[in-house]
Homo-oligomer: A and B are copies of this chain.
Amino acid sequence: MFSSSTQIRIHYALTDQMGVVYYGNYAQFFEIARTEAIRQLGLTYKELEAMGILMPVSDVHIHYRKPVRYDELITVTVMLKEMPTGKRITFYGEVVNETGERCTTSDITLYFVDAHTMKPVHMPAALEELLKPFF
């Protein structure tokens, strides 16, 4: 299993008039955590793009259990439960608040695309090599 955690402080722009984080903003949290997960592996998503690979999202599932509020310092964890083998990759995610409560869970699937043809392609070898040791 591969797992990576990132901390995010909730700023005002992320809240809505219900006094909690707007439901649409969690997509950003999981994007940030995915990006930092790849960086932690020793690559950056920016480098993947420079190699001609894009990673559009195909499916998002988010389950909201407990709201997150202004100024909370959340820990966003993303996990790969198994070695991705095809043209897709699914990150499981969770948001945990400062008192250890699991507020949100997600699974988000992206696919690898050739930036020129926009056709799905296999996971780039550079990323595959870095992931192998975790499985």
Query: In the complex, which residues of chain B have a beta carbon less than 8 angstroms from the beta carbon of A20?
Result: 17, 56
Number of identical monomers bound together in the oligomeric complex? 4
Separation of A89 and B31 alpha carbons in the complex (Å): 28
Range of interface residues on A (Cβ < 8 Å): 35 or more
Separation of A135 and B48 alpha carbons in the complex (Å): 48
User: A16 within 8 Å of B by Cβ?
Assistant: yes
By the criterion CB–CB under 8 Å, are B35 and A11 in contact? yes
| A interface with B by C-beta (< 8 Å) | 9, 11-13, 15-20, 22-28, 31-32, 35, 44-46, 54, 56-64, 67, 69-71
A-B contact pairs, 18 of them (CB 8 A): A11-B28, A11-B32, A11-B35, A13-B16, A17-B18, A17-B19, A17-B20, A22-B27, A23-B27, A23-B56, A24-B24, A35-B71, A44-B71, A46-B70, A56-B67, A59-B64, A60-B60, A60-B64
